[in-house]
Chain A
Amino acid sequence: MTAPAVPAGAGGVVVARRQPGLLRQILRRPDGLAGAAILLVFTVLAVIPDILTGPLQTAITATGPRLAPPSVEFPLGTDELGRSMLNLTVHATRISMVIGLLATLVTVLIGAVLGIVSGYVGGRFDALVMRIADFFLVIPTFVLAIILTAIIRDVLGTGSREIFGIRLSLITIVVVIGITSWSSTARIIRSQTLSLKERAFVDRARVVGAGAGHIMRRHILPNVTNLIVANAVLTFAGAILTETTLSFVGLGDPFQPSWGQLLDAARTVGAPGLGAWWYFMPAGVGIVLVVFAFTLLGSALDAILNPKLQSRR
């Protein structure tokens, strides 16, 4: 993967100081605006699912007929237990978005820390970290993620403990996504750090006696923040897709269904073969729209932060 390299001039102090304007710049572009609008809708769904559709229905509280097509009472039909698909899909939005967000935070945290330290410190540590990053870039991380999730689940056991309102079984997915997808972030941040540390202001800080930790926190980090944000946007899309796929192969949690979990349930029931399109279309549309929105945002950010590309458009 080629890093969307930001030319040395773009990541300077000037851009960092302009940061409040970044959002406005995004919204001024059609792709950025469309992406932000879609995400806003889904964020609202994720924040207040209870108000919109009532609490998450279970096999006990289900009231509808089994596997019924959309009707006035059940606008998106029902599943094989008679639960409203509208209710399930809206609640699944919350689970998918929260897991996506947490996984993005973990991924970007690992990637940014390793990238900055590796780039700044250099030497053997850098060589080692980059070797490991390359390793993760090459291997099919998804298969590794499946094995890791299964092992961690079996070791920890699946209790009903919750962190951030998310069951432990799903937190496992968050951690595994973080472990398996930090490498591209680390590479991108590292290459930017490499060019930053040669700049005069870093030299100046070093001359006046600033330590490595101080320089990385106060001088490097603020200058890679934009890059981290741009990278987080793309990571978010990837995290949602990975979570969806992991849930689809049976690693979801039926007690906290995400979009992927709903799709897995639809496949298990044989919804496509039964013609029950309402079972998987809503969740499917949700995934595609959210990932699409992040891709749009990503391209908007890329164009703003990468002036070389912008001038050619």
Chain B
Amino acid sequence: MGLQYVLRRVATAIFTIVLIVLLNFLLFRAMPGSPERILLGRMPGVTPQILQETRERWGLDKPLVPDQLVRYVASTLQGDLGFSYSARGRPVTDVLAQRLGPTLLLFGLGEAFAIVMGLVLGAYSGWKRGGVVDYVGNGVSLILYSTPYFLLGMGLLLVFATGLGWFPTFGMSTAGATYAGPVDRLVDYGSHLVLPLATVALGLIGQYAILMRSSVIETLGEDYVTTARAMGFRDTRVLRHHALPNAMLPTVTLVAINLGYVVAGAITVEVVFNWPGLGTLTVDALSSRDYPVLQGVFLLLSVAVVFANLAADLIYGVLDPRVRT
């Protein structure tokens, strides 16, 4: 992996982030109602003079480009994303920071489970193509892939929380609970985590399994696999040392690219379980038309996905020396 490759990837990532910030700026301009009106709210007795002063104070009398844009970019870079409409006065950055933890926990774990199980299932079905596991696994994967995450969540909620009563129905912990000790607390949090986590993991397994299956099948048709077989290596060895490492390659990129889509699922799963993360925040912000928060979420998630893609590109460059440009 040459320096040029790294630089090019980093440049692309920076370019994408610049576009995201620009888009965010434009969206802010497209919003209904003039900014000074939003700042002043529905205060009575707003004279043209007060309007003018407000405009001057916030730099709204300056031209859109470059003055306002420069100011917007500068404050965004400093982590100033404006203030939430609904949580009055609170900076968007604060609001986001508070919700980031639960989302990271839920989706970090969910992704990890799904990747491991999806890859194993996919690899096995691809290897034993036409077998029972392949047949059933592929069907189940396709159906899971066709199911919106939130629907899966509602189903799990219905069966395991309402029907069987094994798990609580919402939230991250029991409201107002007092814990006897750290173990108690952990058990309570854990039992709240099971269903949302299962939803995320199940929702993702399908696509990873399908991906890995076709990748393994493709790799098994390669000449070097045939050669390895001809040399008399055992099947398991061929799979583990020759086919799998190469079959994993495309999944690295696809896992990163899929992150953008996964985010959509993230939002809805949290809503079903009232999980206090970014997804629930987004839907709440949407219903109260809290645009600064919505844009903050968009910026945060986009930048995260861009970085994930950059990381995947760099990892891919290390794993596959054939990649040069």
Contact = CB atoms under 8 A, between A and B. Distances in A.
Interface of A: 1-2, 131, 134-135, 137-144, 146-148, 150-151, 154-155, 237, 241-242, 244-245, 248-251, 263, 266-267, 271-275, 277, 280, 284, 287-288, 291-292, 295-296, 312
B146 A147 contact: no
Nearest to B278: A143
B263 A140 contact: yes
Contacts, number: 148
5 contacts: A142-B260, A150-B286, A242-B264, A245-B267, A267-B272
Contact of A250 (B155, B260, B263, B283): B283
A140 B250 CA distance: 20
Interface string B127-160: 0000000000000001101111011001101100
Contacts of B150: 245, 248, 263, 267
A155 B282 CA distance: 20
Interface string B280-315: 001100110101001101100110011001000000
A292 B154 contact: no
B268 A245 contact: yes
A272 B305 contact: no
Interface residues of B, number: 56
The 9 residue pairs across chains A and B that have the minimum distance between CB atoms: A142-B264, A291-B146, A140-B263, A272-B157, A154-B32, A292-B146, A272-B158, A140-B260, A139-B302
A210 to B, nearest CB: 34
B226 interface: no
Contacts of B301: 140, 143
Given A154-B31, A249-B282, A275-B163, A287 B151 contact: yes
A71 to B, nearest CB: 20
B34 interface: no
A249 B31 contact: no
B176 to A, nearest CB: 19
Given A138-B257, A147-B291, A154-B32, A273 B169 contact: yes
A140 B162 contact: no
Given A151-B30, A245-B264, A135 B145 contact: no
A312 B148 contact: no
Given A249-B282, A249-B286, A263-B150, 16 more contacts: A138-B302, A138-B306, A140-B259, A142-B260, A144-B298, A154-B31, A154-B289, A245-B264, A248-B268, A249-B268, A263-B154, A271-B154, A277-B158, A280-B151, A292-B142, A292-B146
A284 B154 CA distance: 10
A146 B147 contact: no
A146 B282 contact: yes
B254 interface: yes
B89 interface: no
B146 A237 contact: yes
Contacts of B63: none
Interface string B245-288: 00000100010010111011001100110000000001100110
Interface in B225-245: none
Contact of A140 (B221, B294, B298): B298
Contact of B32 (A137, A151, A272, A312): A151
Contacts of B155: 272, 284
B104 to A, nearest CB: 15
B98 interface: no
Contacts of A244: 148
Nearest to A260: B148
Interface string B11-47: 0100110011001000100111000000000000000
Contacts of B145: 295
Given A151-B30, A154-B32, A249-B268, A272 B146 contact: no
A251 B268 CA distance: 13
Contacts of A280: 151, 154
A105 B70 CA distance: 38
A284 B287 CA distance: 23
B117 interface: no
B47 to A, nearest CB: 27
B69 interface: no
A312 B221 contact: yes
A245 B148 contact: yes
A139 B261 CA distance: 9
B161 interface: yes
A123 B256 CA distance: 29
B147 A288 contact: yes
